[in-house]
Amino acid sequence: MSNNKLTVIDREGSTHDLEWEEDQTLMEALRDNDLPVLASCGGTASCATCHVFLEKEVFDTLADRSEDELELLVEAEGYRECGSRLSCQLDFSRELDGLKVTLAPEE
């Protein structure tokens, strides 16, 4: 089993290089590496405390956001029509190796 590499820019602008394991969502990878992702609903897409920004090139390759995810994101601070995702809704995928993600402002 091999992991994906993941680069995270935190809210202070610091960069963190992490491993993203096959059985994790992006939110779990962030949380398990002690990044300040509250994830208060535990990954059920019923809050927006795991809101992240993705680069357009990656964002455009992903499946569309669900109605529930979009509804939460539109209300979230810093929402971007192109780039905002709930990290709990992004499952590990080989195609996301090397992903660069930025933590959104805290609610």
Q: What is the pLDDT of residue 59?
A: 96
53 Cβ neighbours under 8 A, 6+ residues apart: 78, 80, 83, 84, 85, 101, 102, 103, 104
pLDDT at 107 > cutoff 90: no
Mean pLDDT computed over 91-101: 95
Quote the pTM value: 0.93
Q: What percent of the chain has pLDDT over 70?
A: 98
Residue 89 scores a pLDDT above 80: yes
- For the chain, what is the radius of gyration of the CA atoms? 12
Instruction: Please name every residue paired with 101 in a beta bridge, in sequence order, or none if there are none.
Output: 8, 54
The confidence band for 106, taking pLDDT boundaries of 50, 70 and 90, is confident
**CB 106 within 8 Å of CB 10:** no
pLDDT in tens, 25-59: 999 999 999 999 998 998 999 999 999 999 999 99
Is the pLDDT at 1 greater than 70, yes or no? Answer: no
C-alpha 67 chain-centroid distance: 17
Q: Give me the pLDDT at residue 52, please.
A: 97
Query: For 4-103, which CATH class?
Result: alpha beta
